Amino acid sequence: MAKGNNQKLKLLYLAKILLEETDDEHGISMPGIISRLAEADITADRKTLYSDIEELRKFGIDVIGEQREKSFLYYIGSRDFELPELKLLVDSVQAAKFITEKKSHALIKKLEKLASTYEAKQLQRQVLISGRVKTMNESIYYNVDKIHTAINANSQIRFQYFQWNVDKEQELRHNGEWYHVSPWYLIWDDEYYYLVAYDDRSKILKHYRLDKMLRITLTGKEREGKELLSNSDVAAYSKSLFGMFGGDRVAVTLEAENRFAGILIDRFGKEIFITKVDDGHFRTVVDVVPSELFISWIMSFGDGIRIVAPDSVVESVRQLLSVLEKTYLG
């Protein structure tokens, strides 16, 4: 019997058929495998296919054969990623603000290839859940890779930084001036990626939102600021930058109703020390940059959480309230 032109590819096509067209709920019979291979101009018989399937098992592909009703079917059992894991990854990609809508769909399409065609349809339904505001900067995906490359190469980088104007156009900050920094860490905060880097000119750590960085290039110059980082708790640094607004960190004393304990622990961690004030209230001290965003966040809880110290931050609260009163009450 004449053999097809693609006979040398038989084992690869067999693996492709099983991986793409079968799963725990969907199997394929031996006649079905022979028919599918014939579509690729590959002839096969039961005897050689039994041997081929065994070779796939030796290679590590979990091919299972079992009797189902009147047919003996073959299917893929365990995979590198199970369907619940893929759904979790799809949800994470879809929810991430720093990944554009276009890139989200491209990544999800790649994740679908890790499942059977039947399971991939369930992942496609997950995509329709999308309603999140996504970044408009397509380069974020590559910015992450470039910064990791720079960190691994111990190289400084340069880049331009932008902001959106009222016309929804990118507007370079500082008239397009190049930023020169030593990249050290990437931080995930409030659903955005930030770069923590050492600025040689100001001799301090600064942070930059990755989706606002443009034209990142490695300079080849050795990174600086390692001594500063060795004396810094990066986790504490990121926690203190509420909403990633810069400034000096301050120990702020908060007094709150007991029902808000969970909210403060979620935000600042279980390490915060809680002192009972009375049966309904407690106090805690958090190390933060007391930006307007932080103060506004505290104010959003009404009288449930209030800042009691230091006086400088309490005064900042009064000033913000005064501005709001003039703005809205005249």
Total of domains in the chain? 4
Give which of 71, 143, 67, 70 is closest to 103, Cα–Cα: 143
Q: Is residue 148 part of a domain?
A: yes
Mean pLDDT of 130-151: 74
User: Which pair of tokens denotes residue 114?
Assistant: 């890790």
Q: Is residue 138 part of a domain?
A: no
| Beta-bridge partners for 67 | 72
User: Which pair of tokens denotes residue 22?
Assistant: 């079968």
d(CA 85, CA 88): 5
Is residue 91 domain-shared with residue 65, that is, in the same domain?
no
pLDDT-derived band at 129, boundaries 50, 70, 90: very low
Task: Name residues whose C-beta falls within 8 Å of residue 10's C-beta, 6 or more positions apart in sequence.
Answer: 37, 42, 44, 52
Mean pLDDT of 57-86: 93
d(CA 56, CA 33): 14
- pTM for this structure? 0.59
Q: Is residue 245 part of a domain?
A: no
- Which of 76, 91, 106 is the C-terminal boundary of a domain? 76
User: Which pair of tokens denotes residue 95?
Assistant: 């929810």
Give which of 283, 284, 290 is closest to 313, Cα–Cα: 290
Handedness of CA 206, 238, 264, 300 (dihedral sign): positive
Is residue 149 domain-shared with residue 109, that is, in the same domain?
no
Is residue 278 domain-shared with residue 314, that is, in the same domain?
yes
Q: Is residue 262 part of a domain?
A: yes
pLDDT tens-place string over residues 172-194: 989 999 999 999 988 877 667 88
CATH number of the domain where residue 271 is located: 3.30.70
250-257/281-288 β-pairing: antiparallel
Is residue 68 domain-shared with residue 90, that is, in the same domain?
no
Cis peptide before 84 (omega within 30 of 0): no
Mean pLDDT of 150-166: 90
Q: Is residue 195 part of a domain?
A: yes
Q: Is residue 241 part of a domain?
A: no
pLDDT-derived band at 136, boundaries 50, 70, 90: low
Query: What's the pLDDT at 233?
Result: 59
- Which of 46, 76, 106 is the C-terminal boundary of a domain? 76
- Which of 232, 261, 287 is the C-terminal boundary of a domain? 232
Residues of the chain with pLDDT > 90, as a percent, come to 46
Q: Which helix (H) or strand (E) holds 252?
A: strand 250-257
Q: Is residue 298 part of a domain?
A: yes
Mean pLDDT of 14-18: 96
Q: Which domain holds residue 324?
A: 250-329
Query: What's the pLDDT at 130?
Result: 42
